[in-house]
Structure formats: structure tokens, C-alpha cells
Structure 1
Amino acid sequence: MQTDYSESENVIRRLHEITQAYDKGFDYQIEGLLRLGLERFNLDIGILARIEGDTYRIESCVCPEHMPLKSGDTFEFGMTYCAVTCEAEDVVAVEHVGQSDILGSHPAYRQFGLESYIAIPIHIGKMTWGTLNFSSPAPYPRQFQDKDIDALQLMASWIEVELVRLQQEKQLRELNFKLKEMASIDPQTQLMNRPVFMDLVSRSMSQLRRYQTETESALLMLDIDDFRSLNDSYGYQLGDRLLKAFAQVLSRGLRSYDAVARYGGDEFIIWLGETDREGIRVVCDRLMSGLAQLELIDEKLSVSIGICHLKTRPFGMDAMAEFVQPEQVIDVMIAQADQALCRAKANGKARYEFYSDEPVYQDTLS
């Protein structure tokens, strides 16, 4: 048995159906709402418009194919009926614009010739966001009634609530992204922190083992020479500036697929993927030169570097490699690079040292 809905009940029912279709997206819902309005008012053009300064932009539009209107079209705000609607801060409903004191002399009437028009401002808080409007080149065959205005206000209310919800969702996504970013970045140097670095190195090592040939890479430990003395002599503010400046030197001196993190204090750690010993030397020379060129103090700044040079066998080349996971060897690599760093310090600083004369195989570091 079919239920006999009144016009108002039908609008409410249809609006509920449209607004519950969250899975289909806001654009789909707005198009459905515009079509509902056109059907309800028996008009030709339905528009949700955004107003930004002096610009009127169509966000969503439903109109006959022969009318040259589409989403993204912009007009001078003052040249639209909606300028009058926003000034009125209320529903404007005109059945025959040419006979209207409100819109009959408006420039938009001379330009577009739209005879019937009903619209309402859309607000977010106290700000006018835009308008919801329906119009037609033909005069409206009857007077707009209270139930028409009620239906328009109901549609506008949902749009306002949904715009606020979407705005809050966007702010929440941005906040979550910022919190995630803050959790992965060292706040003083803006480099990635240790946990993120370790995860990246682990994934990179796993990727290298999928190659068909042996590959080389390196893990570097870096320590700014005499950093504590610099802090004592020049103060901690200079130390903070030095850490930030050196972090920038490190970021500029590496390839896009390398990684650098602050390890702690004035120590930094670097992962160089797919590089040989000569490539490692080039990077070390570049980083040492970059620090030396910083003009934060009169003294020449220097850094010492310890290097674990790694060679990785592909899967299947060595039976032991099948059972050695990256997580098992990273700590050993760090320990070896740290030992090499200690030797560099003991041998006069401002230099780099390899842990061994030849690269060590990944599957031996367990």
C-alpha cells in the first residue's frame, strides 16, 4: 500500500534520502538536492554558489543542456541576483523579475533575463559562505508560498551543517597529519627521528635483497667535533643554531633516496643506499666541506664520520641470507659505524674512517 505524503512531507522524505547518501560524496548529495529543488519549485536552474570577495563561483549547477552554465564558472558578485540576496540576509523570492522593484533594474536581469528567482544565503557561523538559488527564464506561474520558503530553508540548513562538518573533518585530517609529522620529526633539526629512520633502513635493506645482483650501501655515524666545548664557549644558543645549520647541510648533501636522522645530541646517522666505496667518500667529503663553510663562529667547524660499508646478497645466493632479517643487523651496523667514528676521533678528528677495509656482507651481521 503506497503512503500518501503531503508536499512538505515528501520534501522532507526526499531530503533525508539524499542527505543520508554520505558514501556517495558531497557533490552527489548537492546535485540530488538541486534536482529536488528544481522539481519542488518547477524551475530550470539550480545553483550552489560560493562567494569570495567580489567573485561569485558556481560550486554545483543543474540546468538544461543549452544553458552555458557549469561548475567552476565565475562572475562578478555585484552583477548577480545573489548580491541582493546576501544584502537582504534572508530568502528572496521573486515570481516576475521584470515587474519587481527589487531586481527589475538589476544589471543581472538585463544580462541574463532570468524572470523567476528564489534564493537564500548560506552561512558558516557569522560568515556568508554563498547562496542556494533556483531560477528560470520564464516567470513563475504562481506565487512563492510559505511552504516553498520552508523547503528552501530546510535545504540550506542541511548544506550549512554539512559544510561545517566537512570543514571540521578537514581540520581534523590536517591536525592528524601534523601530529603524525611531529611524531616522526626531530623538532630541533626537522630531520626524521630515530624510529622512522630505522624503519626506512629496514625496508631499504629488504628491497636491496630482491635485486638480482649484489648491492652495496652504507651506514654513517657523524659527530660534530668539540661540540661540548663550543657550547661552553659560545653558549647553547649557538649550539642549537649549529645543529640546525648542519642538519640543512646534511639534507642538501644527500640524494633523494638516502636518509638522515638525528641520532642524539650532536650525533647524526645516515643511510646511503646503492653506493660503492668511492660514492661514500664523495658524500663524506661533501658533508665535511659543507660544515667547514658554515660561518657561525670564527673557528673552523669540523665533523668526524664512522662508516659501516655493507654488501647485500640477493635472495637465493646464500642460504644464510634467507634467515637473516634487516632488524637483526641494524644494531650491529650502528655499533661498527660507531667504532669507526671513535677511531676517527682518536686519529685527529675532521676525518672519516671505515670499519673495515672491505665491505661486510649483510648475512654475516647477526
Structure 2
Amino acid sequence: MMDNFCISIMVATGIFFVSVLLFLIKIIVSLKRKMLYLNELTQKDELTQAYTRRYFLEILEYHLRLLHRYHNSSAVLMIDVDDFKQINDTHGHLFGDEVLVHIVNECNLKLREGDVLARFGGDEFILLCPLIDREDIFVVIEKIQDALRTYQNIPISISVGVCLFSHSLSAEAIVQCADRELYEAKEKGKNRIECVMP
């Protein structure tokens, strides 16, 4: 009788521990899924699904550490949609959002494997093109410009500032350099490319 009672207690205890273990596994899996989701939210722009500015800067920092070893040139491009405010004002913000998504989709089709596109803010994007020279960067930009000429019969143009670098600048200095070149492109009439190698 005592043996049956002990066996019953052992079975009940075993079932209890298995139930607790399964419950804990369920909680851990749920937390892991939530962590992955939150991680993706910090890496991807919700609207365009391009990388976020913050994540781009992390990638650029990592790339700079690698570039220091291999001594090749790379480029960072600041891309701005010309007259985007006018597009929003004329066609509405939902249409403007569609234009931004279209730009990211078209860019992703034209970029090389390893290129990294991020939404920098508003209608500005930033692009890292690793291991590229001046001539090839213009080929990449022209492909993007050609793909973006119109969206639903609305003319679209972009201005691009390029910082081509081959030595150890800081990520901040490279982004500022590309931003200055973008400003120059805008000042000189838009729908232009300005490029510098500091």
C-alpha cells in the first residue's frame, strides 16, 4: 500500500515538474519572440522597411573597422527626394508614403549585395556602398535615378551627396561629408550628384 502511495506521489510530482517546465519553456519562447520583434523594430523603419538611422550607424562603424584592414574605398550617399513637400501637399501624405516605399523598393532592386540602405529621416535616405570606386558609384546612382523617374505618372527626382572614403574617418565625419555634398547638390539646382573624396 505504501509503495503505491509513494509511486503516486512520485508520478504527481513528476507531472507537476513537467507542467512547470513546459510553462517556463512557453514563457521563454514567448519572450524570445517579443525580443526578436523589438529588435526588428529598432533595425527597420516601420513604413519603408529600410534600416533605421541608428542601425545604419552601427553597420557603418563595423564597416570602418573592416575597411581599416583592407584599405579599399567605400562610399556613403545621402539621398533626398526633391520637392517632397510639394508631392505631399499636392497628392496627400498617404501618396507621399507610397513614394517613400517605392523609392526603397526600387533602390533595393538596383543595389549590389552588401550595400546597406537606411531611412535617415523624413524623405532622406543614406546608403553605404562598400568596396566601390568613383566610377562604379555613379553607375549605381544612375540606375537608381532611372528607376525613380516617375511614380504613378508623377515625376520624381533625387539629389545625392556622396562621400567616397578610403581611410579611417569617423562614421560621424563621413555622414557629415555626404550631407554637405547633398546640400551642394540641392543648392546647385537639385536632381544632381555631388561627390567628394576627403
Aligned residue for 2:162? Answer: 307
Bigger relative CO (Cα 8 Å, ≥ 6 apart): 2
Gaps of 5+ in 2: none
Aligned residue for 2:105? Answer: 248
* SS of residue paired to 1:304: strand
Does residue 186 (structure 1) correspond to residue 45 (structure 2)? The answer is yes
Where do 1:1-366 residues align within 5 Å? Answer: 145=4, 147-211=6-70, 214-295=71-152, 298-312=153-167, 326=169, 329-355=170-196, 359-360=197-198
Q: Per-residue displacement from partner, 1:24-66 (whole Å, max 9, x unpaired)?
A: xxxxxxxxxxxxxxxxxxxxxxxxxxxxxxxxxxxxxxxxxxx
1:289 to partner: Cα distance: 1.8
1:148 to partner: Cα distance: 3.8
1:334 to partner: Cα distance: 2.3
Q: Per-residue displacement from partner, 1:284-317 (whole Å, max 9, x unpaired)?
A: 012112222533xx222111111111123xxxxx
1:201 to partner: Cα distance: 0.7
Distance 2:73 2:45 in 1: 28
* SS of residue paired to 2:73: strand
Gaps of 5+ in 1: 1-6, 9-144, 313-323, 361-366
Distance 1:199 1:148 in 2: 58
Q: Whose radius of gyration is greater, 1 or 2?
A: 1
Percent identity of paired positions between Structure 1 and Structure 2:
29
1:253 to partner: Cα distance: 2.3
1:223 to partner: Cα distance: 0.4
- The CA RMSD measured in Å over matched residues stands at 2.2
Distance 1:281 1:299 in 2: 24
Distance 1:219 1:244 in 2: 21
Given that 2:88 and 2:95 are in contact with CA atoms closer than 8 Å, whether structure 1 keeps it comes out as: yes
Given that 2:119 and 2:125 are in contact with CA atoms closer than 8 Å, whether structure 1 keeps it comes out as: yes
1:171 to partner: Cα distance: 0.4
Distance 2:180 2:39 in 1: 33
User: What code does the residue aligned with 2:64 have?
Assistant: M
Answer 1 or 2: which has greater helix percent. Answer: 2
Distance 1:349 1:267 in 2: 14
Q: Which region of structure 1 is more displaced relative to structure 2, 180-189 or 277-286? A: 180-189
Q: TM-score, normalised by structure 1?
A: 0.50
Q: Which region of structure 1 is more displaced relative to structure 2, 239-248 or 160-169? A: 239-248
* SS of residue paired to 1:219: strand
Aligned residue for 1:104? Answer: none
Given that 2:42 and 2:55 are in contact with CA atoms closer than 8 Å, whether structure 1 keeps it comes out as: no
User: What code does the residue aligned with 1:178 have?
Assistant: Y
* SS of residue paired to 1:268: strand
Distance 1:260 1:197 in 2: 8
* SS of residue paired to 1:269: strand
Q: TM-score, normalised by structure 2?
A: 0.89
1:225 to partner: Cα distance: 1.1
Distance 1:155 1:204 in 2: 52
Distance 1:340 1:205 in 2: 20
1:146 to partner: Cα distance: 5.2
